Structure 1
Amino acid sequence: MSIRVLVVDDSGFFRHRITDLLSGDSRIEVVGSAQNGMEAVEQAKKLKPDLITMDVEMPQMNGIEAVRVIMRECPTNILMLSSLTHEGAQVTLQALEAGALDYLSKDMRAWMEHSASLEKQLRDKVVELGRSRHSKLRSTFISPNNVGSGKSKSMVFRPEAESKTTRSTPSARPTRPIEKPRYPSGSTLRERSASSHLRAKPAQPEIKKSTAYKSASKVSVPSGCKIVVIGSSTGGPAALQQILTQLPANFPYPILLVQHMPKTFTSVFATRLDQQCKISVKEAEDGDRLMPGRALLAPGGHQMIIDPRSLDKIRIMPGDERLTYKPSVDVTYASAAKSYGNKVLGIILTGMGADGRDGAKMLRQQGATIWAQNEESCTIYGMPQAVVNAGLANDILDLTEFGPILSTRR
């Protein structure tokens, strides 16, 4: 069965361009179009599409407000089209807060030049999101006005003003660097390009596949853990927000975050998370120190690794064109495996593709622990599925379980 799509944009050029690109894929059927938010709401109710592509700036009712109304009255999977500007990033994150699942950049030149890469990305996103389980999970969606009521579990962001007032003072947050672990001579990661991490030969025999998983009540942070590394993609912003806002200011481990996002978006996203969380969150810069209660978000277009010369610092490397993802979960996982071995807790969250699987294999070969998000709570069960199917996950958890488990010292 084809994915039924409603195209919403106030620009006639973009409506026709998007329709042409999607109509060329046998998996997709464009069932209608709208040129403003009010029409989008009406068409969504009438046509009941599997997915809506939504512009942000439109007359009468903008895309963000249209998303809010649609999610309240006829929940539907929504893909936002946004410009790669600072303002565009802010507005796109607001749309994700309102209930949209993902976004795609609206670069006029790429759209006019008939970019094959753009065409594939658009079609793949539409198909994956159209098939996702969230069309039925959206019944749990609640508006920002109801957040905190305890009546429902939502995957949307909290309003910025909510948790900032409850955040601990700077003096309450640990400032010491993490203790450097000791490993046998030769085990430290040599300085090399980011892509070389993925070619490193495993130091341990092939691991056995995991076939049984503990209940969440029996899962805990492994003893001896020194660092938490989290990878995510489609649906990741909401998932990361849900997890990180539950962590206390005195969270005892440093956190590395790898979210597939362009550079402009990662800077805005890190700022928003920092405003919402009790822990500190910032976009990573070369030389930043690893500290308990601090999360470093890999900047878009670059790779983030642990400095092989100083294991309490990170390095930001240029994005290798040979790698599909910039930043890449595989690269950061591999670096953590080389630097901290079995002292790593790796978490793989919702996202398309299989980024993180190869890095997770290296982590498991070093004795590290891997937690994967379950299918039911994923926007797209791609990255976690790749890890689970490879037998690399120690435990599979619902999105609602990560935060409470991480916050509990056992």
Structure 2
Amino acid sequence: MAIRVLVVDDSSFFRRRVSEILEQDPLLTVVDTATNGQEAVEKARLLRPDVITMDIEMPVMDGISAVRAIMKATPTPVLMFSSLTHDGARATLDALDAGAMDFLPKRFEDIARSKEEAILLLQQRVKTIARRRAFMTPRATAPSPLRGRSTPVGSGSGVVGRLASTPVTSVAPEPVVDRRSLPRRSGKHYQLLAIGTSTGGPVALQNVLTKLPANFPHPIVLIQHMPGTFTTAFAARLDGLCQIGVKEAQDGDQLRPGHAYLAPGGKQMLFEGRPGAARLRILEGNDKVNYKPCVDITFASAAKIYGGKVLAVVLTGMGADGREGARLLKDQGASIWAQDEESCVVYGMPQAVAKAGIATESLSLPLIGEAIINEMGG
């Protein structure tokens, strides 16, 4: 049975372009289009599509408000289209907080080297997130309290202040973690926490990192597949929400306990030095590598510097990035965890690690933050 898609955009040209691309795949069918967010909410209720593609800026009702209303009434996987600008990044992150599953740039040439590659990517993304429809439940609409520092870094009128004050829609209420269900503490001594993720990662990382205390005893590196214009805004958002410090990594950053370093989009993040005095190297991405940043590259570099004193966690994401880097870490004695299928937006990267027999634990997302504290201290 074909996957039924509702295409939402105020541009008739873009609606037609997206519809034509999707209709080229025999497994996809466009059941209707909508010109604004209010129309999208009404047609989602009437047509019950399997996936909705959604613009952000539209008249009558914007895309973020529409996503929030759809998730409350008729939860449906939503793929957002965004501009690759700082404001576009902030709006896209708001849409993901509201319940959207994934995003793509509106300029397809920004994500693909050819027209054919862009077409396949859009079709693949729609088919992938469609699989999550059966797992979706209505979301709460009340904003969640911020769990981070009482005074966000920067003024209220600055980027961080604006991001930190953005209401965050959460699945409510998140169950209280029964510590008896956490993995038994291994007794290993750690020096680094490394987390790799892709599709669904922004929300998953927020879920995990907001649970870590300010006195978390180890540095943290984050590798999220994301464009370069997005990682600055995403790091700032996390910094405002979390008790730990979060920043976009810069070349030469010295790793400090209780701080997380997000790999810049379009580049690769490696380590140099020795444990306890390691620094980050940020290098230009090689076009021969599919992912920039690449989880495999950062994990492999961590294996060289930290050996087995790493806890590596692979969260939701498409593809298999992280599997080979995790294998190198495990060969050194590191601990490897994967997010479980039920709590993933896309069970690709974690599945690759689990199927290869590399992961020692497969954990539900709500458990992972507490499990990290239990294993690593803090």
Q: Which residue of 1 aligns with 2:283?
A: 317
Q: Supply the distance in 2 between the matched residues of 1:5 and 1:108 (Cα, whole angstroms).
A: 19
User: Kindly tell me: are residues 128 and 374 of structure 1, through their superposed partners in 2, closer, same or farther at Cα, counting changes over 3 Å?
Assistant: same
User: Kindly tell me: are residues 222 and 290 of structure 1, through their superposed partners in 2, closer, same or farther at Cα, counting changes over 3 Å?
Assistant: farther
Structure 2 counterpart SS, 1:32: strand
Q: Which residue of 2 aligns with 1:233?
A: 198
Q: Which residue of 2 aligns with 1:302?
A: 267
How far 1:218 moved relative to its partner? 3.2
Q: Which residue of 2 aligns with 1:143?
A: 141
User: Kindly tell me: are residues 240 and 35 of structure 1, through their superposed partners in 2, closer, same or farther at Cα, counting changes over 3 Å?
Assistant: same
How far 1:165 moved relative to its partner? 4.7
* Cα deviations by residue, 1:182-212 (Å, 9 ceiling, x for unpaired): xxxxxxxxxxxxxxxxxxxxxxxxxxxxxxx
Q: How many residues align?
A: 349
* Matched letter for residue 12 of structure 1: S
* Cα deviations by residue, 1:249-285 (Å, 9 ceiling, x for unpaired): 0000100000000011000000000000000000000
Are 2:318 and 1:352 equivalent residues in the alignment?
yes
Q: Which residue of 2 aligns with 1:18?
A: 18
How far 1:220 moved relative to its partner? 3.1
Q: Supply the distance in 2 between the matched residues of 1:109 and 1:349 (Cα, whole angstroms).
A: 27
User: Kindly tell me: are residues 99 and 117 of structure 1, through their superposed partners in 2, closer, same or farther at Cα, counting changes over 3 Å?
Assistant: same
Q: Which residue of 2 aligns with 1:163?
A: 147
Q: Which residue of 2 aligns with 1:293?
A: 258
Q: Supply the distance in 2 between the matched residues of 1:27 and 1:115 (Cα, whole angstroms).
A: 20
1:280 to 245, 248, 255: 245
Q: Structure 2-normalised TM-score?
A: 0.88
Q: Which residue of 2 aligns with 1:49?
A: 49
How far 1:118 moved relative to its partner? 1.6
Q: Supply the distance in 2 between the matched residues of 1:114 and 1:346 (Cα, whole angstroms).
A: 34
Are 2:354 and 1:388 equivalent residues in the alignment?
yes
Are 2:367 and 1:401 equivalent residues in the alignment?
yes
How far 1:143 moved relative to its partner? 2.0
Q: Which residue of 2 aligns with 1:64?
A: 64
Structure 1 counterpart SS, 2:316: coil
How far 1:136 moved relative to its partner? 3.4
* Matched letter for residue 51 of structure 1: V
Q: Supply the distance in 1 between the matched residues of 2:184 and 2:152 (Cα, whole angstroms).
A: 27
User: Kindly tell me: are residues 375 and 263 of structure 1, through their superposed partners in 2, closer, same or farther at Cα, counting changes over 3 Å?
Assistant: same
* Cα deviations by residue, 1:68-104 (Å, 9 ceiling, x for unpaired): 1101111110000000000000000010111101100
Q: Supply the distance in 2 between the matched residues of 1:273 and 1:335 (Cα, whole angstroms).
A: 24
How far 1:405 moved relative to its partner? 1.8
Contact 1:360 1:387 in 2 (8 A): yes
User: Kindly tell me: are residues 319 and 22 of structure 1, through their superposed partners in 2, closer, same or farther at Cα, counting changes over 3 Å?
Assistant: same
Q: Supply the distance in 1 between the matched residues of 2:2 and 2:273 (Cα, whole angstroms).
A: 49
Q: Supply the distance in 1 between the matched residues of 2:294 and 2:324 (Cα, whole angstroms).
A: 11
Identity among equivalent positions (%) equals 51
Deviates more, 1:114-123 or 1:389-398: 114-123
Contact 1:56 1:64 in 2 (8 A): yes
Contact 2:74 2:138 in 1 (8 A): no
Contact 2:183 2:371 in 1 (8 A): no
How far 1:116 moved relative to its partner? 1.9
* Matched letter for residue 136 of structure 2: R
Structure 2 counterpart SS, 1:76: coil
* Matched letter for residue 325 of structure 2: G
Structure 1 counterpart SS, 2:118: helix
Structure 2 counterpart SS, 1:15: helix
User: Kindly tell me: are residues 362 and 284 of structure 1, through their superposed partners in 2, closer, same or farther at Cα, counting changes over 3 Å?
Assistant: same
Contact 1:216 1:397 in 2 (8 A): no
Structure 2 counterpart SS, 1:139: coil
Q: What RMSD over aligned residues (CA atoms) do the two structures have, in Å?
A: 2.1
Q: Supply the distance in 2 between the matched residues of 1:277 and 1:397 (Cα, whole angstroms).
A: 21
Instruction: Flag structure 1 segments of 5+ consecutive residues without an equivalent.
Output: 148-158, 170-214
* Cα deviations by residue, 1:12-46 (Å, 9 ceiling, x for unpaired): 11000000101001121111110111110111111
Q: Which residue of 2 aligns with 1:208?
A: none
Q: Structure 1-normalised TM-score?
A: 0.81
Q: Name the larger-Rg structure.
A: 1
